[in-house]
């Protein structure tokens, strides 16, 4: 079976798209090549790295990439994980099937460290569930 290519798009490629990339790689295994990118690059959020470690996935080697770096790849799927990316994404001349799910941005929450961590966990679980279903329905 031919490997599918997936691009996960977010505004800054620091949290949500990084978490999604981690879970899509985990659930799809060698059946898909997964990339993530942003309209801007904000670096990988250390809290996203920590919260994924808690669930046994290491995304510390991920990089924050700009969507334009991947314009030559003919993706099978493009998943936008925030409304801003969906509305501002540059046009991709691709056959990719587009998916969209607006996840809350855990890095925007104001509060105690504990409240922020809880929000990261909550969003991580939402993204994990979404990625699990996505792979089951589109990759397997």
Report yes or no: 78 and 96 within 8 Å, Cβ to Cβ. yes
Residue among 19, 52, 79, 82 flagged as catalytic: 82
Question: Running DSSP on this structure, what letter comes out for residue 106?
Answer: G
Q: Which of 10, 20, 24, 131 is catalytic?
A: 10
CA 119/CA 33 separation, integer angstroms: 28
> 89 catalytic, yes or no?
yes
Nearest to 26 by CA among 58, 64, 70, 49: 58
If you write DSSP's letter for every residue of 16-44 in order, what string do you get? HHHHHHHHHHHHHGGGEEEEEEESS----
| Candidates 34, 89, 131, 139; catalytic one | 89
Strand, coil or helix: what is 7? Answer: strand
Active site members: 10, 82, 89
């Amino acid at each position: 079976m031919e490997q599918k290519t997936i691009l996960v798009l977010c505004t800054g490629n620091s949290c949500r798209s990084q978490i999604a990339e981690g879970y899509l790689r985990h659930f799809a295994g060698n059946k898909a090549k997964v990339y993530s990118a942003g309209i801007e690059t904000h670096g990988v959020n250390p809290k996203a790295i920590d919260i994924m470690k808690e669930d046994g996935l290491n995304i510390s080697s991920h990089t924050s990439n700009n969507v334009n770096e991947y314009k030559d790849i003919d993706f099978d799927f493009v998943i936008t994980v925030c409304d801003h990316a969906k509305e501002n994404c540059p046009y991709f001349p691709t056959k990719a099937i587009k998916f969209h799910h607006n996840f809350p941005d855990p890095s925007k929450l104001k509060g105690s460290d504990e409240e922020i961590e809880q929000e990261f966990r909550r969003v991580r679980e939402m993204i994990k569930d979404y990625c699990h279903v996505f792979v089951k329905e589109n990759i397997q």
